[in-house]
Amino acid sequence: MLVVCSSLLGAGCEGCRGGEDEGPRLSESAEAGEGTQPVELPEGYDWELKLGEHRHDGEPTLVEIDAREQELTEAYFEYCNEAVGEFPVDEFSCEDAQLMPVTGLENHGDSLVRGDAGSVPHSLDGIASCDRPSLIYRDMHNIGCSEGSRIKRISKGDADWVYVCRKANEFFSDEHLYSEIGLIGHNRETGATCFYAGRAAVKFKVEGEQPGKDGPVTVKGELSALLGKGMHAPNDAAGVRNWAIPDYGGCARCHSHGPWLNFPFVDGKNDYSELKYVFDDEEEMHMPEQRYGERQCSKSGGEAGSSLPEAPGYHEDDCEPVVPERHPGMLYAPVNPASALASQASGLEPKLSDDEKKRYEWPEARRLKPEVKDAGVCTTCHHIGNETYSERYPRALFSSEPSGAEPNRVWLYQRNTTESLRSSHRSKVETLTWASMITYGIPGYGTGGNGELPKLDDAQIEAAVMAIEGCKRAERGSEDWEKCWANHWTGESLAADPLQYLQDTCSYCHSGEAGPKVPKLVTEAEFKASASDICSRLKDERAPHPPGGQLSRSILDILDQSELLSCKTESQ
């Protein structure tokens, strides 16, 4: 990938990366063709670069993996296989995945950008514009508008695996070479989640001229080529060639709210007006038909061509979304590589050094507490994570441009999405499903069940976003920080405090303020009194009530054993 870490990109450039700094590099003073030897490139690829006015700065270099890196990565694989499950296939390719279309392209091209503050463009006029951009920007000129990225989910047993093959530029002639590849594995029953960073195989140094404030400037960049054909699974020694341990802050910066970022242009949902359930002609709620390309699914049991409306989105052949849905109450226990390697220390020689511990230590992922003042406009439906998540995503959901002279990530995101495709939470009040819920009087929205649709006030939205941003600014570990952020639920913490789990998951909407149709569920006695109805809804996959039909067997088992509810699963 082009190295574009900058103040504009923030922590994203430090995210799910790994193995990018290993291996030999050319001397900074090496001239093209002088003092360099051709390298033997991996077979089966077209290694010609489409550089345009740019030029090579020496010969490409192969990324070498030393014995220590090999040992640590294999130990990480072993830990994750035990925690999440083993990746289901031995070999797979990016071409197996679904293409993520980018539309409405304008001013598209390739530009070299320096890896410092100078990477903020002097003028935004030349930046590409497109619909459905990537939220991870590596090339600031194309700003997420490069075509050719792909995504796929593979599920087996209790685990879901999703991999993304990203194109951040058009320098590579071969369609199977990628700028970045990432893989996530999540166990639905335990919440254990492992992240894997695609490892670069070949690096190219490139240089060229770029407009500057005082005229053209010479800039140098580095292209990393990741091999998208015949990737080995992260299960054994062979997988180390394709996968590395995410380091220096890791993936939990963005994935602090849970394993999956349900970004609309990744899910394929181009606005938020298409919700999960729809009404048929007889006023019964159903799952809508889901289509993507030649795939057609109907979880409602209807046949192709039935009257149920289609919903846009990426779905696999099992009819489930490519990116699993994030839902209230799910367990989440992201694997910290430093802790994982420490637990495998008996097989490591030598043990982890202080530098290695620092390299693989991740900040703790936490979720925003639902009772944070003013944040309920968001937390009624969303889990909000700490770290980078709370900086980027809440603000990016709204089409109002942030103030300030410096363009920031959200400003650029809005620039690269037409008005018709920007997510608008106001569109929710136009759907029957959302309307049927907010008229019950959900705090911050509702009308007490009087049947009138409320208007979502801009001041409410702004207050919610500011509350989240205020929690992000709180010093980690301080009293204010502890008031904002809670640990994610795991099986262990749920078993220790099931009432608190139910209160966090249910009580915000069932606080007694949402009208007569919404039972109050706050105290232990109230949960016990409604246990039968609660369990019926939690196990009903067709119920539009979150998290109806979505809680794992392990959660239902723990709730049953707690004697708060009676949620025995069919397996019992």
How many Å apart are CA 220 and CA 210, to the nearest integer? Answer: 10
Contact (Cβ atoms closer than 8 angstroms) between residue 173 and residue 46: yes
The first and second tokens of residue 106, run together, are 């304008």
Residue 409 lies in a domain: yes
Q: In whole angstroms, how large is the CA radius of gyration of the chain?
A: 25
Q: Which pLDDT value is given to residue 442?
A: 60
The first and second tokens of residue 186, run together, are 């999540």
Residue 541 lies in a domain: yes
How many Å apart are CA 316 and CA 162, to the nearest integer? Answer: 11
- 458 sits in which H/E element: helix 458-473
Residues in a beta bridge with 310: 289
Q: Which pLDDT value is given to residue 208?
A: 86
Whose tokens are 């939990």? That residue is 252
- Phi-psi map region of 52: left, alpha, beta (phi>0 left; psi -120 to 50 alpha): left
Please spell the DSSP secondary structure of 403-414, one letter per residue.
PSSS--HHHHHH
- 342 sits in which H/E element: helix 337-343
Residues in a beta bridge with 222: 205
Residue 63 lies in a domain: yes
As a whole number, mean pLDDT of residues 466-489 equals 93
3 state DSSP class of 490: coil
The first and second tokens of residue 541, run together, are 């996959």
How many Å apart are CA 195 and CA 340, to the nearest integer? Answer: 12
How many Å apart are CA 160 and CA 152, to the nearest integer? Answer: 10
Backbone angles phi, psi at 2, to 5 degrees: -70, 135
| 497-512 per-position pLDDT tens digit | 999 999 988 888 788 7
The first and second tokens of residue 515, run together, are 């009208």
3 state DSSP class of 99: strand
- 393 sits in which H/E element: helix 387-396
Residues in a beta bridge with 187: 159
As a whole number, mean pLDDT of residues 132-155 equals 83
The CA-based diameter of the chain, rounded to the nearest angstrom, is: 81
Lowest average pLDDT, out of 182-186, 365-369, 447-451, 519-523, goes to 447-451
- The answer to whether residue 479 scores a pLDDT higher than 90 is yes
Pairing of strands 289-292, 310-312: parallel
Residue 328 lies in a domain: no
Contact (Cβ atoms closer than 8 angstroms) between residue 495 and residue 190: no
- The answer to whether residue 237 scores a pLDDT higher than 90 is yes
CB atoms within 10 A of CB 8: 20
Residue type, 121: P
Percentage above 70 pLDDT, the chain: 70
More confident residue, 119 or 240: 240
More confident residue, 243 or 348: 243
- Any idea what DSSP says for residue 493? H
Average pLDDT along the chain: 77
3 state DSSP class of 319: coil
Q: Which pLDDT value is given to residue 440?
A: 60
Return the closest-CA partner of residue 245 out of 337, 373, 124, 113.
Answer: 337
Backbone angles phi, psi at 245, to 5 degrees: -85, 125
As a whole number, mean pLDDT of residues 108-124 equals 59
CB atoms within 10 A of CB 499: 14
Q: Which pLDDT value is given to residue 265?
A: 66
3 state DSSP class of 194: strand
Output the CA–CA distances (angstroms, integers) from residue 368 to 76, 100, 169, 364, 507, in the order listed. 29, 31, 35, 13, 15
As a whole number, mean pLDDT of residues 248-274 equals 73
Residue 355 lies in a domain: no
Residue 129 lies in a domain: yes
Q: Which pLDDT value is given to residue 526?
A: 95
CA angle 243, 245, 249 (to 5 degrees): 135
How many Å apart are CA 206 and CA 139, to the nearest integer? Answer: 14
Lowest average pLDDT, out of 280-294, 305-319, 450-464, 554-568, goes to 280-294
Number of folded domains in the chain?
2
Contact (Cβ atoms closer than 8 angstroms) between residue 283 and residue 435: no
The first and second tokens of residue 30, run together, are 């090496």
- The answer to whether residue 84 scores a pLDDT higher than 70 is yes
- The answer to whether residue 493 scores a pLDDT higher than 90 is yes
As a whole number, mean pLDDT of residues 39-61 equals 90
Residue 297 lies in a domain: no
Give the pLDDT band of residue 38 (cuts 50, 70, 90). low
CA angle 462, 465, 471 (to 5 degrees): 140
**Does one domain contain both 85 and 216?**
yes
- The answer to whether residue 230 scores a pLDDT higher than 90 is yes
Tell the burial category of 448 from Cβ atoms under 10 Å away from its Cβ (0-12, 13-18, 19+): middle
Contact (Cβ atoms closer than 8 angstroms) between residue 260 and residue 326: yes
Give the pLDDT band of residue 572 (cuts 50, 70, 90). very low
Residue type, 290: Q
Q: Which of 211, 228, 249 is the last residue of a domain?
A: 249
How many Å apart are CA 548 and CA 298, to the nearest integer? Answer: 18
Q: Which of 233, 249, 265 is the last residue of a domain?
A: 249
Output the CA–CA distances (angstroms, integers) from residue 374 to 12, 203, 392, 469, in the order listed. 27, 48, 18, 12
How many Å apart are CA 323 and CA 332, to the nearest integer? Answer: 16
Q: Which of 224, 249, 274 is the last residue of a domain?
A: 249
Residue 432 lies in a domain: yes
Contact (Cβ atoms closer than 8 angstroms) between residue 249 and residue 271: no
Expressed as residue numbers, the domain containing 508 is 366-561
Top mean-pLDDT range of 223-237, 418-432, 453-467? 223-237
As a whole number, mean pLDDT of residues 64-92 equals 96
**Does one domain contain both 245 and 371?**
no
